Amino acid sequence: MVDPHTSQEAERHRAKMQKRKAMQDKEVASKTVEKGLLMVNTGPGKGKSTAAFGLALRMLGYGRRVVVIQFIKGAWHTGERKALKRFDDLVEWHALGEGFTWETQDKARDIAACQRAWGIAQQAFSNPDIGLVILDELNVALRYDYLPMHQVLADIAMRPITQHVAVTGRNAKEAMLEAADLVTEMTLIKHHFKNGVKAQEGIEF
């Protein structure tokens, strides 16, 4: 025998979900703009670059070309770089940083490396065949004023209308946040590094 209370609860749930679906469908249908997005991943938490490389994988799934330009930490040999090499026909990877600023200890060298990287970015922005440009750790370069913010934003704004750009790195400046279409802040709640766990293959790099 069916419990009438259970039956009534199921019907209330069904009615609630039908109402919610109608609202969701209406909301989705109202969105008609299609454009290239400027997306910023910032904050003190882990996962900013990881999320951007997830977007790269999604783009590759649709046969879209991806350009990755690494600022600051480009000297690292990472798992994502090795993995994306399997898509050599669709991916360009430019590791043009020379390490974190406290490792190089040479501001002029850091600035020169960032300028070389930005030259590659400018080339990518001029190519309408590229679906996604990842500017990994650009926020760090901008924080130290290794590149002029006004030029960076102007160049990004001149890209093809359907090209997406993902910017990563802590301490995104206000001008970058204002220019972005999507901003995600990674919040640090707990990190294994504090408990003596070292950086590991497949997790940190």
**Is 66 part of a structural domain of the chain?**
yes
Quote the number of domains for the chain.
1
Confidence of residue 25 (pLDDT cuts 50, 70, 90): confident
Which residues contact residue 135 at a Cβ distance below 8 angstroms, ignoring those fewer than 6 apart?
A: 69, 71, 121, 165, 166, 167, 168
Q: Quick check: 105 pLDDT over 90?
A: no
**Is 11 part of a structural domain of the chain?**
no
**Is 149 part of a structural domain of the chain?**
yes
**Is 183 part of a structural domain of the chain?**
yes
CA distances from 188 to 11, 42, 45, 193 (A): 41, 11, 4, 12
In terms of residue numbers, what domain contains 166?
45-187
Mean pLDDT score of the chain: 90
Which pLDDT does position 10 carry in this prediction?
86
Torsion of CA 53, 39, 184, 63, to 10 degrees: -30
**Is 64 part of a structural domain of the chain?**
yes
Confidence of residue 2 (pLDDT cuts 50, 70, 90): low
The whole-model pTM stands at: 0.86
**Is 28 part of a structural domain of the chain?**
no
Query: What does the alpha-carbon distance between residue 112 and residue 91 come to, in Å, rounded to a whole number?
Result: 24
pLDDT tens column, 125-151: 999 999 999 999 999 999 999 999 999
Find the mean pLDDT for residues 77-101: 84
Query: What does the alpha-carbon distance between residue 83 and residue 158 come to, in Å, rounded to a whole number?
Result: 30
Which residues contact residue 146 at a Cβ distance below 8 angstroms, ignoring those fewer than 6 apart?
A: 71, 110, 111, 114, 115
- The more confidently predicted of residues 131 and 7 is 131
**Is 98 part of a structural domain of the chain?**
yes
pLDDT tens column, 42-84: 999 999 999 999 999 999 999 999 999 999 866 667 899 999 9
- Do 98 and 113 touch, CB atoms closer than 8 A? yes
- Residue (of 104, 102, 123) closest to 112 by Cα position: 104
CATH number for the domain including 66? 3.40.50.300
**Is 30 part of a structural domain of the chain?**
no
**Most confident of the following: 3-7, 34-38, 102-106, 189-193:** 34-38
